[in-house]
Structure 1
Amino acid sequence: MARDLDDSTPLETRDELIAYLESGCKPASEFRIGTEHEKFGFYEADCSPVPYEGERGIGALLHNMQVLLGWEPVMDGDDIIGLVDPTHGGAISLEPGGQFELSGAPLHSIHQTCREVNSHLAQLREVAEPLGIGFLGLGFSPKWTRAETPRMPKQRYDIMTAYMQKVGTMGLDMMYRTCTVQVNLDFASEADMVKKMRVGLALQPIATALFANSPFKEGKPNGFLSLRSEVWKHTDADRTGMLPFVFDDGFGFEAYADYALNVPLYFVKRGETYHDVAGDSFRDLMDGKLAKLPGVRATQSDWVNHLTTIFPEVRLKKFIEMRGADGGPWRRLCALPALWVGLMYDGTALDAAWDIVKDWTAEERETLRDAVPATALKTPFRNRTVQDIAKEVMAIAHDGLKRRAAGYGGESDETRFLEELCEIAESGVTPAERMLEEFHGPWKGDIDRAFEEYAY
C-alpha cells in the first residue's frame, strides 16, 4: 500500500465498520482487476542489495521515477517512500527491505494488466539502468542475510519490526526478504463475497504450488519450493492463516469485521505521526481506552489502515485480495490475475471451483496449506495430488476466461495468459524446481546466476 489514509471522520459503532466492507459491493459490469507485484532491487555489478540512501539508492530511484512519470510523491517526514498516479489510481510503494511494489490501477482486462506491467518495467529500467540497478522477481531473497538487507525509512515499518519479534519467529523475514504477486477482485453482494472468499481460501494452496518460486536462502537451497509461503506460517498467528470461520454458516461482512476487531493494532496515525500501540485492541480505540493514547477514538482511516495490517491467505477490504503466490518473472505477473479472474468473474467457473472444494474439511485445508511450501504440486491430497487438482482448476479458469471473452488486438479472450501455468500444471514441475536444476547443473552452485538469468 503506497499511502496510509488520514480520514478523521469519527467511527462510533460496529455497524459502521461492517458498512465499510459492504460498501465494496458493485454490479458485475463495474468489476475491475488490480494487480500488485513486488521485486528485489540489486546492484548489477555485484548482486548486492540497494540501500535507501545515496545517489544510487532507492530514494534517488523513486525521485527519478517521480520526475519521469509526474506522479504525486508520498512522503514520510523528509523521505520519499512512494508515488501515486492521481489520474488512473496506480501507485508505487516500498516494502520494508526495499522491495519495489507496483499497485496497479483497477483495470478491465488482463490485456490491460499486461500492458501496465510491461510499461512499469520499461519505465523502471529507464531510471534504474543509469544507476546500475536491476530487479529480480523471486518469492524470497536468494542471497542476502537479514543483516545485509537494507531498511526503508517508514515509521509504520519501524513499529512492525519491533512487534514482529514478539509474536513469531519469521516475521522479519516476511517483511524484509519476501516478494509476492497478488490480485484484487470485486464482489457483487455479500453472498458473492462469501463464495469468492471460500473458493479463494480453499484453492490458495494450489496457487502457492503453481507459483512456487523461492527455493534459495543466503545462497543455498533452503529445503522448500516456496519458502515465502513457509515464512508466513511463522509470522503472526493473530493476523495470518486460512480463516476457517469463513466456512461457517452465516459468515458475512459482520463476521469478518468481528475478526478484524480482534486482530491487535500496530499503530494509530495522526497527522504525519505513527503512534506505536502494537498489541492493543481496536475495540479499545473505539472506546477511547488505548493506554498510550487515552481519549483518542477511532476514525475512518484507522479502520481502513488497520485492515491493511491483517495478512490472511485471502484478505477482505472493499475488495478481495488473493495473496498466496510467490513473486516471479513478468509472464507470471499476468498469469496470476488470469487464473483468479477466470475462476471468479464467470459464474459457471465459480460454481465449478466451489464444487471441487465444498466438501473439504478445515483440517484438510490446513494440512494442504502446511504441506505445499515443501512439496508443491507433488503434495498428496485424498487419493490424488495437488497437481491433479491444479490441472482441473486450470481447465476451469481457461473456460471461464473463454466465456468472459475479453478480447483485444485480434484475440478473442484472455486465455493465452494462462499458458505458462497450464504447462506447469501439466508437467508437475514448479518454477522453483527448474531453478534448483539450474543451480545444481549449469550454475554450478553460483546463486549470482539467478540475478543474471531471472532479472526483469
Structure 2
Amino acid sequence: MSIPQSGGGPIENKAQLAQYLADGCKPKADWRIGTEHEKFGYCRDTQKPLPYAGARSVQAMLEGLRDRFNWAPVVEGDKLIGLVKDGANVSLEPGGQLELSGAPLETIHQTCDEVNLHLAEVKEVADEIGVGFIGLGAAPVWSHEQMDLMPKGRYKLMDSYMQRVGTHGTQMMRRTCTVQVNLDFASEPDMVQKLRVALALQPIATALFACSPFFEGKVNGYQSWRARIWQDTDNARTGMLPFVFEDGFGFERWVDYALDVPMYFVYRDGKYINALGQNFRDFMEGKLPALPGETPTLSDWADHLTTAFPEARIKKFIEMRGADAGPWRRICALPAFWVGLIYEQGALDAAWDLCKGWSLDAREALRLDVAKDGLHATIAGRRVLDVARDVLDISQAGLAARARPGAGGLVPDETHFLNALHDIVARGESPSDELLKRFHGDWKGDLSNIYREYSY
C-alpha cells in the first residue's frame, strides 16, 4: 500500500482536484512503467510467517537490505517500515508482505532487471537469517492470528474499520499478495479509453494470473481466493465502477467518485489521525470532525486517492490491480500484458473493440465468475480461455509495434515476456490449476511442498 504523499498546497476549490489528476497527462515519449510486486516471508524451518521484530523478521529483512545494499530507511515513530532508493521503494503490506514499488522505467526489459536485482538482494539477506519468500495470491496455510499487523498507523485504523464494513477485509490486509503495474496516459480522452479497457479486461488478467487455490491449509474451491476476498472487502471503495463506461466520464467524474469514498485518515506531522468513515467534502468545507476548522491540502487528496480499491484506478496514472502474485516469470508478464494492450493505439483500439459490447451486468458477472472458475468462466457466450487468447494476441502485436529492444539490441522487442502467459493459454491451465494438480498428485495433499518448490 502507498506511503504518505507530500508536496501539495492548500485546496481552494474542487477544480484543483480534477487538475491534480490531469497533471498526470504526459506525451507518449514520457510514458513509463511502474511495477509493484508483493511476496510472503516465512521462517524456513517452521514455515511460519515472519513477525515484525526478531532475529528472523520483517525488521531484520529491512535492516539487512538497508545496510548491505544502501537503501535509505523510512521510519514511522521509532519503527523501520520501508526503504527508498533510485526512485523505487520497499514497503510493508499490513501482514508483513514485502513489496517492491519499482521506479518508473521505459521498458519491460528494465523492469525485469529491476525485479531480478531486487529478488537477488532479498534472497541474499534472507538466506543468512533462515528466511524464505514466496509469491502466491493468498497465504496457503497461515491463520489470521499467526500474522503480525505491521506497526503503521494507517494499518491500525484500517484493521478496525475493515471488521465493520465487510467479511473479508482483514484477510485482504494480512493474507493476500498481488502484482500490479502503473501506466501513463496522454490526455483525458486517452485516460478514458485506457481505464475502460483496464476495467473491462481486468478479470481476464485475474484468470490468467490466478494463483491462490488454497487457504488455511485447504483447497478453497476458487481459482483466485484473493479475487474472492476483494468481492466482500468494502463495497464503498471496490468493484468495476459502472460510471466509467457512461457518456461524459472524465477526471471530474472520478473526483466525484473519490469524494464519496469514505475517508480512513489524515496524515499530519508523521501521525495518522482517525477520520474513519468521514467525508472529504466536509473536509473541504472545514467541517471534518477529525480536524474541525482545518481544510485539506493536495497531499491529503493524494493520500485519499490511495484509499479507493477498484479493479483499476487512476491517480496521476492508471493502476492495474487484478492479478495474483506468482513466480518470477509472471511478475514480468503482468506489465508486458498491459503495456502491450494500451501503449500502442492500434492495440488499444483492438482491445476496446473486443470488450466494448459487454454489458454492465456481464462485466460484473465476469469479475465474480473468474474468481471461482478462472479460465473456465464465460463472458458473452465465450470461454474466458478463448477471450484470453485473443487478448494475448492483441498484447503481442502491441509489444511488437513498440519494438523496444533489450540485451544491448540482441532482443528486438518485449514480446517474449508474454511467453509465460502463452504457455498458460496453450495448456488451458491457470497457475491455480497447476498447483491443484501438484497438490492432488505428487504432493499427496501435503501443502508444505509449496514452500520448497514455489519460493523465490
Normalised to the residue count of structure 2, the TM-score between the two structures is 0.98
For residues 300-334 of structure 1, give each alpha carbon's deviation from its aligned partner in whole angstroms, at most 9, with x where no partner exists.
Answer: 11101111111000010000000000000010000
- Hey, what does 1:422 align to over in structure 2? 422
Q: Report the Cα distance in structure 2 between the residues aligned to 1:17 and 1:382, rounded to whole angstroms.
A: 37
Q: Report the Cα distance in structure 2 between the residues aligned to 1:240 and 1:316, rounded to whole angstroms.
A: 13
Q: In structure 1, the residue corresponding to 2:390 is in which secondary structure?
A: helix
RMSD: 0.9
CA drift of 1:2 comes to 5.3
CA drift of 1:382 comes to 2.4
The equivalent position to 1:404 in structure 2, one of 398, 402, 405, is: 402
**AA of the residue aligned to 1:271:** D
- Hey, what does 1:155 align to over in structure 2? 153
**Are 2:53 and 1:53 aligned?**
yes
For residues 407-427 of structure 1, give each alpha carbon's deviation from its aligned partner in whole angstroms, at most 9, with x where no partner exists.
Answer: 112010011100110111222
**Are 2:185 and 1:180 aligned?**
no
Q: Report the Cα distance in structure 1 between the residues aligned to 2:337 and 2:375, rounded to whole angstroms.
A: 16
**Are 2:333 and 1:335 aligned?**
yes
- Give the number of equivalent residue pairs: 454
Decide whether the 8 Å contact of 1:2 with 1:83 is kept in 2. no
Superposition map of 1:103-122 within 5 A:
103-122=101-120
Q: Report the Cα distance in structure 2 between the residues aligned to 1:421 and 1:361, rounded to whole angstroms.
A: 26
Superposition map of 1:59-78 within 5 A:
59-78=59-78
CA drift of 1:8 comes to 6.0
Q: In structure 2, the residue corresponding to 1:303 is in which secondary structure?
A: helix
Q: Report the Cα distance in structure 2 between the residues aligned to 1:49 and 1:136, rounded to whole angstroms.
A: 11
The equivalent position to 2:128 in structure 1, one of 122, 127, 130, is: 130
Q: In structure 2, the residue corresponding to 1:294 is in which secondary structure?
A: coil
Q: In structure 1, the residue corresponding to 2:368 is in which secondary structure?
A: helix
CA drift of 1:69 comes to 2.4
- Hey, what does 2:40 align to over in structure 1? 40
Q: Report the Cα distance in structure 2 between the residues aligned to 1:95 and 1:445, rounded to whole angstroms.
A: 29
- Hey, what does 2:29 align to over in structure 1? 29
Q: Report the Cα distance in structure 2 between the residues aligned to 1:179 and 1:205, rounded to whole angstroms.
A: 16
- Hey, what does 1:168 align to over in structure 2? 166
- Hey, what does 2:223 align to over in structure 1? 225
The answer for unaligned runs of 5 or more in structure 1 is none
- Hey, what does 1:81 align to over in structure 2? 81
Decide whether the 8 Å contact of 2:286 with 2:293 is kept in 1. yes
- Hey, what does 2:300 align to over in structure 1? 302
**Are 2:253 and 1:255 aligned?**
yes
**AA of the residue aligned to 1:74:** V
Q: In structure 2, the residue corresponding to 1:97 is in which secondary structure?
A: coil
CA drift of 1:214 comes to 0.2
Decide whether the 8 Å contact of 2:43 with 2:56 is kept in 1. no
CA drift of 1:378 comes to 0.8
Decide whether the 8 Å contact of 1:2 with 1:94 is kept in 2. no
Q: In structure 1, the residue corresponding to 2:179 is in which secondary structure?
A: strand
Q: Report the Cα distance in structure 2 between the residues aligned to 1:369 and 1:56, rounded to whole angstroms.
A: 38
Q: In structure 2, the residue corresponding to 1:311 is in which secondary structure?
A: coil
**AA of the residue aligned to 2:306:** T
Decide whether the 8 Å contact of 2:38 with 2:99 is kept in 1. yes
CA drift of 1:345 comes to 0.6
The answer for unaligned runs of 5 or more in structure 2 is none
CA drift of 1:64 comes to 1.4
Percent identical among aligned pairs is 56
Q: Report the Cα distance in structure 2 between the residues aligned to 1:148 and 1:450, rounded to whole angstroms.
A: 18
Q: In structure 2, the residue corresponding to 1:49 is in which secondary structure?
A: coil
Which is worse superposed, 57-66 or 319-328? 57-66
Decide whether the 8 Å contact of 1:377 with 1:430 is kept in 2. yes
For residues 73-132 of structure 1, give each alpha carbon's deviation from its aligned partner in whole angstroms, at most 9, with x where no partner exists.
Answer: 1111000000111xx310000000000000000001111011000000000111111110
Q: In structure 2, the residue corresponding to 1:312 is in which secondary structure?
A: coil
CA drift of 1:65 comes to 0.7
CA drift of 1:166 comes to 1.0
- Hey, what does 1:413 align to over in structure 2? 413
Decide whether the 8 Å contact of 1:37 with 1:102 is kept in 2. yes
Which is worse superposed, 198-207 or 380-389? 380-389
Q: Report the Cα distance in structure 2 between the residues aligned to 1:250 and 1:134, rounded to whole angstroms.
A: 49
Normalised to the residue count of structure 1, the TM-score between the two structures is 0.98
CA drift of 1:399 comes to 0.8
- Hey, what does 2:274 align to over in structure 1? 276
**AA of the residue aligned to 2:46:** D
Decide whether the 8 Å contact of 2:224 with 2:371 is kept in 1. yes
**AA of the residue aligned to 1:141:** A
- Hey, what does 1:374 align to over in structure 2? 372
Decide whether the 8 Å contact of 1:2 with 1:84 is kept in 2. no
CA drift of 1:359 comes to 1.1
Q: Report the Cα distance in structure 1 between the residues aligned to 2:70 and 2:189, rounded to whole angstroms.
A: 41
